[in-house]
Homo-oligomer: A and B are copies of this chain.
Amino acid sequence: MTKTDIARRVYNHTWKLDPIIRSLLDTDFYKLLMLQMIWGMYPRVDATFTLINRTTSVRLADEIDEGALREQLDHARSLRFSKKEMIWLGGNTFYGRKQIFEPEFLAWLEDFQLPDYHLEKRDGQYELTFAGPWMYTTLWEIPVLAIINELRSRAALREYGPFALDVLYARAKAKMWAKTELLKQLPDINISDFGTRRRHSFLWQRWCVEALKEGIGKSFTGTSNVKLAMDTDLEAVGTNAHELPMVLAALADSEAELRQAPYRVLKDWQRYYGGNLLIVLPDAFGTAAFLRDAPDWVADWTGFRPDSAPPIEGGERIISWWRQKGKDPRQKMLIFSDGLEAETIVETYRHFHGRVRMAFGWGTNLTNDFEGCAPVPTTRLNPISLVCKVTEANGRHAVKLSDNPAKATGDEAEIARYIRIFGNEERVEQFVKV
């Protein structure tokens, strides 16, 4: 009594494309928050985003077919926000606030389309850039990373039969579930999914999000993925990213303006958002420099997201800065989001427990951990350190220093100039796994 759905089977076999990005909401929530501010304040700024593969040993152009990549990018460009998605964005409450998005912004968003891209192969890598108005190019970051990472997974999985795939996913599920069991021992922990950009695949991210929802219950406070937040009735979470200070720094016409850029971003941000959204991302040009020169009002913000220093060290630095500014860290929040694994989450939680509010934005190790899962060991399922960074703003170089020189991006001469201006204090090279 074998039952085959003939229509489904024929349909499956004539598929032209299995789209990786099926919705413009399949992006990180902070991109939309930043987009509203860019749209409102910097509509005439051009910004170029560039794909950067820091894992140079992986030759992406050898692993991923160019035609398949173009098909996926073109498919993403064909997407528009759907009526249901627009209604959800307009009607939902984010961070306890209704109508976080202005009606005029939403009206503009209705016609949004991802802009064109420039793609070529060079030395086994893809040169992939998105040039044009910042308020368009910015939304490419997440889908392009998700597309390349999933195409890479698909290429690696192509050699497996159905049975090997079954074991692979079974192991990955067992592994993921063991993490939830570890984490649920920490009763008042707050963890969110930040794993969209480096996910193994969309379906796997969804599985992991559902696993966390079931596994750690109320401790799972949301997902940065807007589509998953909508589909699974979770909170959409996230605040802002390095591109804001990077672009504002690039636009600065003097050294004084450049030094002020990181704080001007915060002022801009505060015009749009308040409450729990007042999270400082301090490391664009080095956290030490940021804290050294920060005006006192920065200490009034809700919290910090140290994103490139080891979590305990980075957190301690900010706590002691709050104390210097006369603030009680127990009223403040630290959001950890850099290269977290279940074990580092536990360790960091135990270290700071009772001394500061904490949240963990769990990325790659949540949505792309297949280590030891393949029937035959392979490195092709290991996540790589792939980013899509703003590299130019209005024709000028955009630069990130980071607390970790290995995560710096941009023109080398310009990096040197930024180091001269911001200093090189406490910037320590750390191995970047992803």
- List residues of chain A with CB under 8 Å of any chain B CB: 3, 5, 8, 161, 163-164, 166-167, 169-175, 177, 210-211, 214, 375
A173 to B161 alpha-carbon distance, docked (Å) = 16
- Chain B contacts of A166 at CB under 8 A? 173
Whether the Cβ atoms of B177 and A173 lie closer than 8 Å is no
A13 to B326 alpha-carbon distance, docked (Å) = 65
Q: Which residue of B lies closest to A3 (CB)?
A: B8
A–B pairs, 12, beta carbons within 8 Å: A5-B8, A163-B210, A163-B211, A164-B214, A167-B174, A167-B177, A167-B211, A170-B171, A170-B172, A170-B174, A171-B173, A177-B375
- Chain B contacts of A169 at CB under 8 A? 170
A170 to B177 alpha-carbon distance, docked (Å) = 10
Chain B nearest CB: distance from A178 CB in Å?
Answer: 9
- Known contacts A166-B173, A170-B172, A174-B174; 8 additional CB pairs below 8 A are A3-B8, A5-B5, A163-B214, A164-B214, A170-B170, A170-B177, A171-B174, A177-B375
With a 10 A CB-CB cut-off, give which of A170, A171, A210 has the most chain B CB atoms: A170
- Chain B contacts of A375 at CB under 8 A? 177
Chain B nearest CB: distance from A173 CB in Å?
Answer: 3
- Chain B contacts of A210 at CB under 8 A? 163
A169 to B211 alpha-carbon distance, docked (Å) = 14
- Chain B contacts of A173 at CB under 8 A? 166-167, 170-171, 174
A164 to B164 alpha-carbon distance, docked (Å) = 22
- Chain B contacts of A163 at CB under 8 A? 210-211, 214
- Chain B contacts of A171 at CB under 8 A? 170, 173-174, 177
A210 to B173 alpha-carbon distance, docked (Å) = 20
- Chain B contacts of A161 at CB under 8 A? 214
- Chain B contacts of A214 at CB under 8 A? 161, 163-164
A163 to B167 alpha-carbon distance, docked (Å) = 17
Chain B nearest CB: distance from A175 CB in Å?
Answer: 8
Chain B nearest CB: distance from A75 CB in Å?
Answer: 14
A171 to B166 alpha-carbon distance, docked (Å) = 12
- Chain B contacts of A211 at CB under 8 A? 163, 167
A43 to B34 alpha-carbon distance, docked (Å) = 85
A166 to B177 alpha-carbon distance, docked (Å) = 10
- Chain B contacts of A167 at CB under 8 A? 173-174, 177, 211
Chain B nearest CB: distance from A43 CB in Å?
Answer: 35
With a 10 A CB-CB cut-off, give which of A3, A177, A211 has the most chain B CB atoms: A177
A167 to B170 alpha-carbon distance, docked (Å) = 8
Chain B nearest CB: distance from A335 CB in Å?
Answer: 28
- Chain B contacts of A177 at CB under 8 A? 167, 170-171, 375
A383 to B8 alpha-carbon distance, docked (Å) = 39
Chain B nearest CB: distance from A180 CB in Å?
Answer: 9
Chain B nearest CB: distance from A160 CB in Å?
Answer: 11
